[in-house]
Each structure stands twice: as structure tokens, then as C-alpha cells.
Amino acid sequence: MIPPREDAEFAARMERLLALYAQEHDPRFPVVCLDEMPVGLLEHSREPLPAAPGRPRREDHEYERRGSATVFGAFCPKDGRRLLEVRPTRTARDLAHFLRRVLDEGWPGAERVVLVLDNLNTHTLGSLYKAFPPEEAWRLAARVELVHTPRHGSWLNTAELEFSVLRRQCLDRRIGSLEELARQIGAWQDERNRKRVRARWTFDAQTARKALAPVYPATGDDE
């Protein structure tokens, strides 16, 4: 990450997010981080040889490409719950349908979900109106408060931390179909939710003002 220099908008959005992460968890207004990740579908070109006593499992270095998929993920760092979904595409309609699941299945008891997400062009409430009739779009929009990360500051979204763990623990193997990808990710999600694995976020505003001092514009006493 290369931080910008003297970018007041970056500083303002960053400190807004850091203040949210510092708050105590309120189930009525949970802070939920949303992101999405492309995944290539790869199949073995030759059947792997199973492990045997004194010999590890072996697989050929060649593989077949079977297209790609998108993993949508929502993660509440304070309550240790996450919701993931595999979809073949990453359109505004895909985002809208996943967001409905976040609200109605992931955090159905929340009065309003504070949703942290990056600046992708589909990450607006307008996506809901592209996917649903106005009444349904408004029902969902009324339960969401969008908080966008700074541009070039997607690392401030804790959903990226979850995706990093997902890559290491679940996607470190060849998966050749949407169905198998969904099955593997679903099992990983359920186990993490059972353990209520939370994020230990320690980067606060005081630390940011020291570590990222060049981000903050120089100010003078002009008044």
C-alpha cells in the first residue's frame, strides 16, 4: 500500500472507518464489511495419485481452465459472523441479490446495517433498483447505510482480511466447478461462524496520524 500525500478526503474517510471499528458492537446497527473476489476454476488434467504410506499425494502440474466465478463476502468483525456466496458473474444485479441475503438472512434483526465497501461502480444503492421492483429496492435501501473506503484504501475493509484467510485455508487447491466451489466455501464459512472468529483490528486514528502523517494536509493558522 502506497498512501497518498496530503489527501484530505482520504484522511476523512479513513478516520470515519476507524471510528466505526472502535465502537462497541450494537446488534441493532452492526458494522458489516462487504467485498467480492474473482476465483479461477481449475480442474486436474490428470487424476491425482492418492497418498500412501511414506508417499504424499501427487498431482500433475498441468490443469484445465473451467472459467471463473465471483465470491461475494460480508463479514462483521465484532460479532464474528460472515456470509459468503458464489456467483458466476459480478454485476449490479449480483451485488443486489447478495445484499438482500445479507440483510434478510445474515443480519435480519438489525434495524440498519452499516455497510463498509469499496468504490466499485456497482457498490451503490442504485444496484438494488436495477434488480428489484421499487418497493423491494426501497425496503432494502432503508435498512442500509453505505460507508465507502477511501480511494486506494480498500485495505481498510476487514472483508479483505477474511478473503486472505479464505485463500490460504480453502482456495489453496484446484476447484473445477461452481458447485464444488460453493460447497467448499460453504463448509469453510460454517466452521468459521461456529467458532465466531472475529477480527482483531488495532489500527486506530492515533496510530494513523503518526504512521500515515504524509496523508494529512499541512495546516496553518490562517484565521
Which domain does 133 fall in, by range?
25-41+65-204
Residue 35 resides in a domain:
yes
Ordered alpha helix ranges (H), 23-171: 92-101, 126-131, 134-141, 159-169
Q: 105 in a domain, yes or no?
A: yes
Grid coordinates given for 31: 458494522
CATH at 165: 3.30.420.10
Strands of the sheet containing 113-117, edge to edge, are: 81-87, 63-76, 31-44, 113-117, 144-148
Phi, psi of 66 (to 5 degrees): -120, 30
Asked if residue 188 is part of any domain, the answer here is: yes
Quick check: is 213 in a domain?
A: no
Domain tally, the chain: 1
Q: Which of 170, 182, 97, 107 is nearest to 132 (CA)?
A: 97
77 belongs to a structural domain: yes
Crossing angle between the packed helical segments 178-195 and 159-169, to the nearest 10 degrees? 110
**Which DSSP symbol is given to 196?**
T
Q: Are 31 and 21 in contact (CB under 8 A)?
A: yes
Q: Is residue 168 part of a domain?
A: yes
Q: What is the pLDDT along the chain (223 residues), one digit of tens a residue?
A: 677 889 999 999 999 999 999 999 999 999 999 999 999 997 745 665 577 687 776 655 666 777 899 999 999 999 999 999 999 999 999 999 999 999 999 999 999 999 999 999 999 999 999 999 999 999 999 999 999 999 989 999 999 999 999 999 999 888 889 999 999 999 999 999 999 999 999 999 999 999 999 999 987 555 5
- Distance CA(115)–CA(99), nearest Å, equals 10
Residue 136 Cα distances to 25, 97, 123, 146, 170, angstroms: 28, 11, 18, 18, 35
Q: How far is CA 114 from the centre of its chain?
A: 14
130 burial level (CB within 10 Å; 0-12, 13-18, 19+): middle
User: What was the pLDDT predicted at 1?
Assistant: 65
